[in-house]
Amino acid sequence: MAAVTRGLGATAALSSANSKKFQFTTRRSLSGRKGSFFAVESNGNPRSSLNRHNNRTRQLVTNAVATKPDSAAASTVSKPGHELLLFEALREGLEEEMDRDPHVCVMGEDVGHYGGSYKVTKGFADKYGDLRVLDTPIAENSFTGMAIGAAMTGLRPVVEGMNMGFLLLAFNQISNNCGMLHYTSGGQFKIPVVIRGPGGVGRQLGAEHSQRLESYFQSIPGIQMVACSTPYNAKGLMKAAIRSDNPVILFEHVLLYNLKERIPDEEYVLNLEEAEMVRPGEHVTILTYSRMRYHVMQAAKTLVNKGYDPEVIDIRSLKPFDLYTIGNSVKKTHRVIIVEECMRTGGIGASLTASINENFHDYLDAPIVCLSSQDVPTPYAASLEEWTVVQPAQIVAAVEQLCQ
Amino acid sequence: MAQLTRRTTDLLKPFSAALSSTRLLTTTSTTPITVETSLPFTGHKIDPPSRSVETTPQELMNFFRDMALMRRMEIAADSLYKAKLIRGFCHLYDGQEAVSVGMEAAITKKDCIITAYRDHCIFLGRGGTLLECFAELMGRKDGCSKGKGGSMHFYKKDSGFYGGHGIVGAQIPLGCGLAFAQKYSKDENVTFAMYGDGAANQGQLFEALNMAALWDLPAILVCENNHYGMGTAEWRAAKSPAYYKRGDYVPGLKANGMDAFAVKQACKFAKEHALKNGPIILEMDTYRYHGHSMSDPGSTYRTRDEISGVRQERDPIERIRKLVLSHDLATEKELKDIEKEVRKEVDEAIAQAKESPMPDPSELFTNVHVKGFGVEAFGADRKELRAVLP
């Protein structure tokens, strides 16, 4: 399917015949590159078999909250798989891990009898019992601390924050105990805890319930952060996070819970530190994660129609960054746009900009453009809230400006 | 152990020296001795245990030796700090030794202990060696945390000592988590989560206590009340300084923390209670001779008379010394010999720790993650200390 899209883009490009759009610099020239760019990728492989990371994510889901099944052809190549929503994918991943390892337990507010405020743990209390799916009182600091203490002895708790913003109350435990205990004990204790919960700007939830905590947690040494965006990677990342011996914070997004996708029947675990190539391209690298992936893909549709060829990468791993994938992309396209929902000041985009500048400065033709949310508390009014986050139109404008 | 003899009469004293080769080893006997605690226990929503504590001569001598070792170690740490071999924060435990040895006598190494930053002696009580202790204080490789933790981060996983925490009160939810794991795996052990009178006003204590009581976790919260939260006296910080009553629905017990046998009895009682009925709060009424830490002289908020008064009347080592002498288990001289031996041991450990090397620069990047990703990390100037996170 991507091959078809590529072909279209190339045709459009040829017909517009604007040589400026295709900046083939001789500096660090890509090997095997010829004038015809239809089917030959930069590393010499045919376009259709490019995606070495995973073959699943080729459908372009453009709507952020997709409610109808995706019309793209089934992305699985082996078995038909089964369709489910993102929260069901999380549930499936969690259930498989709890079946596999009796040390995995869940703690959080309303995870047990209520089934989870976003139904991720529905049915678990009946299946696993009240001690293993623990309904906690509203005491984030303490139950996160309890999870960390339990992890020190060998349990693998999964802590659910009902909303990521509530985890600010547990910041001391996450920063000082979760992140640092492995180091300050000289390696004696490991903290295999998973902290997960929905964050991000929802539908008029108000300022305190629309927070993006990635930026606050990213400097804590010792933890890992991942953000899921599709049912496929949600299940894979959940399983990987539980199996990891490091403390992992899994960021979900409130508006993505009802995304539907077909995922494989067989068991799979994704790599926590790997980024996902959503749409390979040639002109500009767009780095994004979580919900902004869908805004970017929507913008990509417009861009492709206008003749651009953006490469879209869902970085997925927020700490550490997958500089290998990102670097290869930068070396290919020489232009980077970061589209994120995090705050402008000190956000993931800011760190990523610094990281790419430090490591790949020579490969960049233009300064990195970072599109992030405005540095304001999220307002309640729908029109204002819409403009707090990056919209597809802004992405299109930024790409056009960058690729001049 | 010094060989001891049973003193018969003063007449035979010169003979006893001649008979040294035929002394009886009475300290290894397990004939029980009953000791009365100095003060009765006070209970909150619970019947306090009796004041009579069973002990053996062996245990008495062990108490004396262990407490003398701890006292000597803390005083040596004081001199090392003033010699600038220990830097940063150093919180000394002298005066409070009875809490540590009494607790150890009542529990096993499978029970967990977690405490705050005044952890040197508790680490020793849990089986840590003097070398590990001093090396960690001086930031050397042979330290218990490989020199990367420091005074406030002593840990010993194999004997259930979970630290060593710098942030006041944060160890209490961790302790309840340890108790949760013990309940989860159904091994009949308990967790002692220790904190001070300053931390007793933290909200997370009550949150954790609520959860522990809700789920009947085998958690015992031990308040080491030395009456001063750094420079603030307890009556200036707490409306209700009866910390053992603070649990409200959770029973509490107050014991004299300067009496090792009272501590032992209270901990034994608490362990039985926690395994059957869930959490209990213990308050140990104790005192620290040094200031809060080495940067605090300890005399601006309390009088020297108070400190010396407590030292004269309530010192834990003196109490054990009197008990040993009154039960004829050792002579004055033998006890002094033990103290000299202990001093020598501490000095040797310090000498050995001083020779231990500093950690390798590559150790800066080890143990950040359990399994690394080959991510590169740079030093400040991006030239040195470059390493791949293992």
CB pair distance less than 8 Å for A145 and B210: no
CB pair distance less than 8 Å for A150 and B163: no
Distance of CA B189 to the CA centre of its chain: 19
Distance of CA B272 to the CA centre of its chain: 21
CB pair distance less than 8 Å for A183 and B368: yes
Question: Within the 73-112 window of chain B, which residues sit less than 8 Å (CB to CB) from chain A?
Answer: 112
What residues of B are in contact with residue A145 (Cβ under 8 Å)? 170, 172-174, 176-177, 204, 208
CB pair distance less than 8 Å for B145 and A185: yes
- Backbone CA torsion sign across A136, A140, A141, A147: positive
CB pair distance less than 8 Å for B177 and A190: no
Q: By percentage, how much of chain B surpasses pLDDT 90?
A: 78
Buried b (16+ CB within 10 A) or exposed e, B109-142: eebbbbbbbbbbbbbbbbebebbbbbbbbbbbbb
Structure tokens at A380: 């309640």
- Cα–Cα dist B377/B385, whole Å: 8
Residue among B153, B166, B207 whose CB faces A185 most closely: B153
A103, A142, A176: best to mutate for the B interface, most B CBs within 10 A? A142
CB pair distance less than 8 Å for B145 and A188: yes
- The residue with tokens 């046998």 is B261
> One of A41, A88, A182, A209 is an active-site residue; which one?
A209
Residue B24, CA atoms < 13 Å, CB-side half-sphere:
8
Q: Is B52 on the interface with A (CB under 8 A)?
A: no
Check residue A404 and give its pLDDT.
83
Structure tokens at B149: 């933790």
Annotation says A209 is catalytic: yes
Rounded to whole angstroms, what are the CA distances from A399 to A24, A338, A396, B179? Answer: 17, 11, 5, 55
For the stretch B181-239, pLDDT in tens is: 999 999 899 999 999 999 999 999 999 999 999 999 999 999 999 999 998 999 999 99
A130, A174, A185, A190: best to mutate for the B interface, most B CBs within 10 A? A185
What residues of B are in contact with residue A189 (Cβ under 8 Å)? 155, 157, 162
Question: Within the 385-404 window of chain A, which residues sit less than 8 Å (CB to CB) from chain B?
Answer: none
- Give the list of residues 6+ apart from residue B370 with CB closer than 8 angstroms, or none: A182, A190, A192, A244, A245, A246
B204, B210, B366: best to mutate for the A interface, most A CBs within 10 A? B204
User: A14 to chain B nearest CA, in Å?
Assistant: 41
Distance of CA B258 to the CA centre of its chain: 12
Assign residue A129 a region (left: φ > 0; alpha: ψ between -120 and 50; beta: otherwise): left
Residue among A137, A148, A188 whose CB faces B174 most closely: A148
CB pair distance less than 8 Å for B183 and A186: no
pTM value is 0.82
> One of A140, A273, A340, A341 is an active-site residue; which one?
A140
Q: Is B148 on the interface with A (CB under 8 A)?
A: yes
Counted residue by residue, chain B has a size of: 390
What residues of B are in contact with residue A176 (Cβ under 8 Å)? 165-167, 170
Check residue B27 and give its pLDDT.
57
- Give the list of residues 6+ apart from residue A88 with CB closer than 8 angstroms, or none: A231
- Cα–Cα dist A335/A322, whole Å: 17
Q: Is B366 on the interface with A (CB under 8 A)?
A: yes
CB pair distance less than 8 Å for B208 and A145: yes
For the stretch B258-310, pLDDT in tens is: 999 999 999 999 999 999 999 999 999 999 999 999 989 888 999 999 999 99
pLDDT beyond 50 at B128: yes
- The band of B362, judged by pLDDT with boundaries at 50, 70 and 90, is confident
pLDDT along chain A (404 residues), means of 10: 38 40 39 37 40 41 42 50 94 95 94 90 93 93 95 95 91 92 92 94 90 92 93 94 94 94 92 92 94 95 95 93 92 95 92 93 94 92 92 94 88
Q: Is A360 on the interface with B (CB under 8 A)?
A: no
Give B192's strand partners. B113, B220
- Cα–Cα dist A120/A4, whole Å: 36
CB pair distance less than 8 Å for B146 and A273: no
Question: Within the 167-226 window of chain B, which residues sit less than 8 Å (CB to CB) from chain A?
Answer: 167, 170, 172-178, 180-184, 203-204, 207-208, 210-211, 214-215
CB pair distance less than 8 Å for A152 and B180: no
Rounded to whole angstroms, what are the CA distances from B80 to A331, B128, B133? Answer: 55, 19, 13
Check residue B387 and give its pLDDT.
55
Residue among A105, A189, A222 whose CB faces B157 most closely: A189
The residue of chain B nearest to residue A174, with distances taken between CA atoms, is: B170
What residues of A are in contact with residue B167 (Cβ under 8 Å)? 172, 176
User: Mean pLDDT over residues B368-383, rounded?
Assistant: 61
Annotation says A341 is catalytic: no
Among A275-279, A308-312, B106-110, B382-386, the minimum mean pLDDT is found in B382-386
Size of interface A-B (CB pairs under 8 A): 148
Residue among A152, A246, A320 whose CB faces B371 most closely: A246
If we measure between CA atoms, which residue out of A324, A318, A310 comes closest to residue A289? A318
For the stretch B312-348, pLDDT in tens is: 999 999 999 999 999 999 999 999 999 999 999 999 9
Check residue A78 and give its pLDDT.
54
Q: Is B373 on the interface with A (CB under 8 A)?
A: yes
Q: Is A146 on the interface with B (CB under 8 A)?
A: yes
CB pair distance less than 8 Å for A150 and B203: no
What residues of B are in contact with residue A148 (Cβ under 8 Å)? 173-174, 177
What residues of A are in contact with residue B157 (Cβ under 8 Å)? 185, 188-189
Structure tokens at A288: 């994004």
Question: In this structure, which amino acid lies at residue B369?
Answer: H
Residue among B146, B170, B204 whose CB faces A186 most closely: B146
CB pair distance less than 8 Å for B170 and A134: no
3-state secondary structure of A279: strand
The residue of chain B nearest to residue A176, with distances taken between CA atoms, is: B167
The residue of chain B nearest to residue A317, with distances taken between CA atoms, is: B373
CB pair distance less than 8 Å for A136 and B167: no
pLDDT beyond 70 at B17: no
B67 versus A43: the higher-pLDDT residue is B67
- Cα–Cα dist B141/B178, whole Å: 28
